[in-house]
Structure 1
Amino acid sequence: MLIPNSPINSGFILIVDDNPTNLSVLAQILNQADLSIRIATDGESALELLAEDHELPALIILDVQMPGIDGFETCYRLKSNPITYDIPVIFMTAASDVTSKVKGLSLGAVDYITKPFESEEVLARVRIHLQIQQLTKKQQQWNQELEQKLAEHINVLQKTQVQLVQQEKFAAMGQLIAGVAHEINNPITCIVNNIPPAYEYVKNLIAVIQLYQQYYSQPVPEIQTALEELDIEFASDDLFKLLNSMKLSSERIQDISVSLRNFYRSDISTKIAVNLHECLDSTLLILRHRLKALGDRPAIEVLKEYGELPKIYCYPGLLNQVFMNLIANAIDAVEEVQHPQIRIFTQVIGSQVLITIADNGVGMTEEMTHKLFQPLFTTKPFGKGTGLGLSIARQIIDEKHHGQLKVSSEYGKGSEFIIFLPLS
């Protein structure tokens, strides 16, 4: 509880008046109440004092009638300056000068002191406004602390929401991909395993046909007609080409199946040693269909500049998710580029591994890069992005792997995402 007559330690009080008698009386009243004061004899010197002094007064007592700029103009300038705007101003006016009182209050003054001075009235008005000033500062401080705590809680809540979305999305996707990969694996394994013996059977059958042609060069007319219609030599050559093509295609499907299983390794709850280049290659294999030419857009060129990297202990499924997000974003960024290009660079730097994924797309403004990793912020058109991908990616790199994920971009000159991962 505030006690009206208790001493107040609120800095000094600035008295501005050109009348020596008024200055003397006010100084005596305030000094007797243990209040520190400073004096200015006109508005200009008061403003100069405030501009030169690093310490601002807790309160200003300002006379209305002064030579040069009067009290009203001085108050107006004080309230126009953001540095002195909050300093409470008390005007000194004649007891019957109602017009001056109203004008002073409209300019931002908090109160007025009537002339001739009554010491108890002066002290009461000064003390109450010093107390109000103290309470205002405390309230501002409490508000700032409250805003900071609220921002911290919101940040924690957003991170928690992003983690929950990430876990649910990744688990669901992992189960789906694992199921599809499992269903593909059995029939494709059967095809891959059966192609070599089928190749041998065809080879042997063609060899037998060639023996017949060698020793029975004049077959019966019916067989001769069938051989001519079949064009046995062309069919023999083309059949081997078809088998080779089937072999390559089935092996590619098998590679994709393995890549999908490796990509979504959601069952791994501890870090394991992983070849990062294999992770990047698996991601590129899965996104291969998006790298091909599409309509007027040419095929996207991928430049792989891999350095010598040791295996790194990490969560491979989560790290693959980061690579997928960054490369998919790079593909989106170069959709309108005449010669689209994505560059992936890896290198060991000291005790860290550097991975950069750069594109020659449209780039981003500085304002966009500052917001890029915030949850729900997206640069993509409505309906094409959730705004969670990069936020989740940063959490995976920073919190799960104790690394760093940064972005460097300039509008019109492309973007580069930079990942640092610790070796140990």
Structure 2
Amino acid sequence: MPSMVEFPMVIAQALADREDLLMALIDRAGRLLWANQAFSLHSKQSLESLIGRKFFQILSLNAQHLPQQTYIREQLIKGESFKFEFAYQPEGTLTPSWLLMDGQPILNAEGMISQYSLLATDITLRKQAELDLQEAKRLLEQNNQALEVRVQERTAALFQEKERTEQAFQQLQQMQLQLIQTEKMSALGNLVAGVAHEINNPVGFLAGNLQPAKEYIQDLFGLIDLYQEKYPAINPDICAEMEAIDLDYLREDLPKLIRSMQEGVKRLTHISTSLRIFSRADSDRAVSFNLHDGLDSTLLILKHRLKANETRPEIEVKQEYGALPLVECYAGQLNQVFLNLLVNAIDALEEVQQDGRFEALNAQPNRIKIRTQLADDEKQVLICISDNGPGIPMHVQASIFDQAFTTKAVGKGTGLGLAIARQIVVEKHGGSLDCCSQPGQGAEFMIGLPVRQQFVKTSHKP
């Protein structure tokens, strides 16, 4: 059995013929005591001429640089292992090769460090991969810069196209009115339907698993009670863990947590149902529809705009629903009418804040009222949407239903909302849409719809 000193020599001799491994033995001063043939070939010198020389000086002769000499000396003095990488240029090649040198201390019979074993492995492939990765990153950055330039150019082209489209829009108002009506509700309906669908799947999963989870929790608590009853002498470790997790509080609070989650699931289910109602697609004929469901779903879509923000208080919505029958109508298009009227009411109330009329807000909080009733003849239903905003000037009221007419700033509105609303109510449903307003006293829009569809304008396609 070889000693601690002899054992590395035994390994070195067994691997001496390996040309892919550089092996050597040095003393703590870094002088070469022994090396294999591969070490000699790497340094291009005979083994006899290498013995006794500093090994890092030998490596430096063939390496491109060896800045680790100070680090190696310090590790040798401290008697600690060391690792370093260095590059060299093999004869007849154009690219450098890389070696990883690993030095490990060797204990003598007295347990003292007297020698170091050296083992060098080729890491050229790894280094080349790193260089390739750096080059790939450089090319990627270059491509990204080129892409950004193209995006900027495309953005400028799109902006120019937008300006041309806006000019063409002024000449094709009637055609655009029909297109916007269809595309707007289609896009919004698809978006809302997609959101409702995405909500419905996880909500269904949660709803189906909360009750079993509640039962499992009760079973686990029952098991704990049974265990405590049968084994009253509690192990100190278990007792400490019970105190750490506050088992009594957990038993009290966990069922409450499950109940809160169940309430949340019910709320999400309600939201999903409302979204589906709002986004329902119209068929080629009128269908029976609960107008209150349409109003409620539209309010849900606009809930974020009704909440208080940093510029105004919350907008209160008062709903005075009468007893209405199901109405034959195109539900998706009527939801668009409700949406347009409610958005205009919200915009009007926000205009009060923009004008700086804080005192008016404090004296009379923002409010929107929705009132529904069945007409005396029971052949028509009435929906009134009113607000306590600044009102509409008399000279403006005559034009509010005109196509592309708007009093809003550029970029705040197209003037199509009320025109589309009136077209849907009057031309599509044979109803009426009127406005009543006094400056400073808010505005009220009144919708009249027949309960049964007996009038559909044949010259106008849905």
Q: 1:209/1:273 Cα in 2 relative to 1: closer, same or farther (>3 Å)? A: same
- After TM superposition, give the deviation of residue 157 of structure 1 in Å: 6.1
Query: Which residue is 2:128 aligned to?
Result: none
Q: How many residues align?
A: 271
- 3-state DSSP of counterpart to 1:226: helix
Paired residues of 2:173 and 2:404 also in contact (CA < 8 A):
no
For residues 171-250 of structure 1, the aligned pairs below 5 Å read 171-250=186-265
| Alignment-mate amino acid for residue 175 of structure 1 | N
The one-letter code sitting in structure 2 at the alignment partner of 1:248 is: E
How far residue 296 of structure 1 moved from its aligned partner, in angstroms, is 5.2
Q: Does 1:368 find its partner at 2:381? A: no
1:263 to 266, 272, 278: 278
Aligned equivalents of 2:284, 2:320: Cα separation in 1 = 31
Secondary structure in 1 matching 2:398: helix
Distance 1:229 1:292, change over 3 A: same
Gap change, CA 1:362 and 1:210, over 3 Å in 2: farther
Summarize the Cα distance change of 1:267–1:309 in structure 2 as closer, same or farther, 3 Å threshold. Answer: closer
Q: Cα RMSD between the aligned structures?
A: 2.2
Distance across 2 between alignment mates of 1:317 and 1:271: 11
Is structure 2 residue 362 aligned with structure 1 residue 347?
no
Structure 1 residue 276 displacement after superposition: 0.9
The Cα offsets for residues 73-111 of structure 1, whole Å up to 9 and x where unpaired, read as xxxxxxxxxxxxxxxxxxxxxxxxxxxxxxxxxxxxxxx
Match among 314, 317, 336 for residue 329 of structure 2: 314
Which residue identity is paired with 2:407? Answer: T
Determine the structure 2 residue equivalent to 1:405. Answer: 433
Q: Any idea what SS the aligned residue of 2:305 has?
A: helix
SS for the counterpart of 1:387 is coil
Change (3 A) 1:219 1:315: same
Instruction: State whether structure 2 residue 338 is matched by structure 1 residue 323.
Output: yes
The one-letter code of the counterpart of 1:250 is V
Structure 1 residue 397 displacement after superposition: 0.4
**Contiguous gaps of at least 5 residues in structure 1:** 1-153
Seq. identity, %: 51
Shift of 1:305: 0.7
- Matching residue of 1:390: 418
Whole-Å Cα distance in 2 between the matches of residues 397 and 412 of structure 1? 27
Q: Determine if contact 1:256/1:286 at 8 Å carries over to the other structure.
A: no
Match of 1:23 in 2: none
Unmatched runs of 5 consecutive residues or more in structure 2: 1-168, 354-360, 453-462
Structure 1 residues 97-136: aligned runs within 5 Å: none
Separation in 2, partners of 1:292, 1:271: 34
Contact 1:408 1:415 in 2 (8 A): yes
State the secondary structure of the residue aligned to 1:371: coil
Secondary structure of 1:382's partner? coil
State the TM-score, normalizing by the size of structure 2.
Answer: 0.55
User: How many Å separate the matches in 2 of 1:292 and 1:211?
Assistant: 51
- What secondary structure does 2:310 align onto? coil
Q: Distance in 2 between matches of 1:212 and 1:323?
A: 61
Q: 2:300 is matched with which residue: 282, 285, 289?
A: 285
Q: Determine if contact 1:302/1:344 at 8 Å carries over to the other structure.
A: yes
The worse-fitting range, judged by mean Cα deviation, of 220-229 and 197-206 is 197-206
Q: Name the aligned partner's letter for residue 418 of structure 1.
A: M
| CA distances 1:175-231 after superposition (whole Å, capped 9, x unpaired) | 233233223322221112111111211122223223334444441111111111111
Q: Is the 8 A contact 2:307 2:315 kept in 1?
A: yes
Q: Which residue of 2 aligns with 1:295?
A: 310
Q: Deviations over 1:344-400 (max 9, x none)?
A: 101111221111011111211112222111122223332222211111111110111
Measured at CA, do residues 227 and 389 of structure 1 come closer, stay the same or move farther in structure 2, by a change above 3 Å?
same
CA–CA distance in structure 2, aligned partners of residues 354 and 420 of structure 1: 5
Aligned equivalents of 1:323 and 1:348: distance in 2?
18
